[in-house]
Amino acid sequence: MTTRLRSRHLLGIAGMEPDEIQLVLDTAETMLEVSGREIKKVPALRGKTVVNFFVEPSTRTRTSFEVAEKRLSADTLNITASASSLVKGETLIDTALNIEAMNPDFIVMRHSEPGAHALLARICRSSIVNAGDGAHEHPTQALLDAMTMRQKFGRLSGLKVTILGDIRHSRVARSNIHLLTRMGSEVTLCAPPTLIPLGIEQLGAKVLYDTDKACAGADVVMVLRMQLERMKTGYVPTLREYAKLYALTPERLGLMHPEGIVMHPGPMNRGVEIDSAVADGPRSVILDQVSNGVAVRMAVLYLLAGGEREDAAATAGAGR
């Protein structure tokens, strides 16, 4: 079992070994304890500077990274595309090099271009953390999803996980497929054929087009948003028809394993990919996912910074 991440960047789950995933999840459990204290602050990243650079919109990821950084005592600052010189035509590379000139320790970035983070990792001294790159990867989302499943079932191995919805445009789907197949879960993808990327089975997931069959016996159904802003052509005849064939409804919830849980990374299109009765029901862990997002992002930053010789709990204790 490793005690360190092998890279100083987090670009995607595809580059992580199972023991590194396990390390992040175990460290995140310790960080969850910090978030439950009255004084939710530890000195692990004191003196470190984190730039949150979001070129695409975000509520959960940006906020939870900032909360995580503050709980670790880092100095944080936020740059959004609309308030940056990107709108004046400055390139991503020039923008990154100018941020680097201020000597931050981390750049947490969301960008619409797959591979934008890999490019920055080649030219930057700071640790680059992928907070979502186009339809490519969203590694911290997959890690917080895995943490949520592990909390509910005590394991990832052997879990039957169905990912239902717009797989084509989803970085969440890709990162989850990488993570869950590495950790021994059985992954089924379900969507209309137009929203399943060609060859995705090669990543180790099964594809079904019948939602009832895909939900039958599932331990987890992870519903994905219809990413209407990324759809330039009509992938489905109408949203009403999509909802009829592919939404997670109370009837389809009834087909799952009796202890099965419902997940959604957000933001939700209620009444399109998921019924409100399901999203707000007792088997939904959607808000647990958000809480776990803070713990996972604390763990990632802490480990990328090098961790500690002693374990994370001991470091956390120093802040009491």
CB of 86 to ligand CP, least distance (A): 19
- Quote the least distance from Cβ 125 to ligand CP, whole Å: 26
How many Å apart are CA 46 and CA 188, to the nearest integer? 42
**Closer residue to ligand CP in complex, CB, 57/250:** 57
**In this complex, which beta carbon is closest to ligand CP, that of residue 44 or of residue 107?**
107
Cβ atoms of 149 and 156 closer than 8 Å: yes
**Which one-letter DSSP state was computed for residue 274?**
B
> Helices marked H in 226-273 — which ranges?
239-246, 250-253
137 CB burial (10 A radius; 0-12, 13-18, 19+): buried
Give me the least distance between CB of 301 and ligand CP, in Å please.
Answer: 16
- Chain residues binding ligand CP by CB under 6 A are 58-61, 132, 141, 265-267
Closest to ligand CP by CB, 12 vs 132, is 132
CB of 64 to ligand CP, least distance (A): 8
- For the chain, the straight-line distance linking the first and the last C-alpha, in angstroms and rounded, comes to 29
Provide, rounded to whole angstroms, the least separation between the CB of residue 272 and ligand CP. 16
DSSP 283: T
User: Of 132 and 307, which CB lies nearer to ligand CP in the complex structure?
Assistant: 132
Query: At its nearest, how many Å lie between ligand CP and the CB of residue 1?
Result: 29
User: In terms of CB distance, is 170 or 315 closer to ligand CP?
Assistant: 170
Q: Yes or no: say if 135 and 169 are a contact pair by the CB < 8 Å rule.
A: yes
Q: How far apart are CA 17 and CA 80, in angstroms?
A: 32
Q: Are strands 106-111 and 127-133 parallel, antiparallel or unpaired?
A: parallel
Toward ligand CP, which CB reaches closer, 165 or 265?
265
Structure tokens at 165: 């919805």
Strand 49-54's sheet: what is its strand order?
A: 75-80, 49-54, 106-111, 127-133
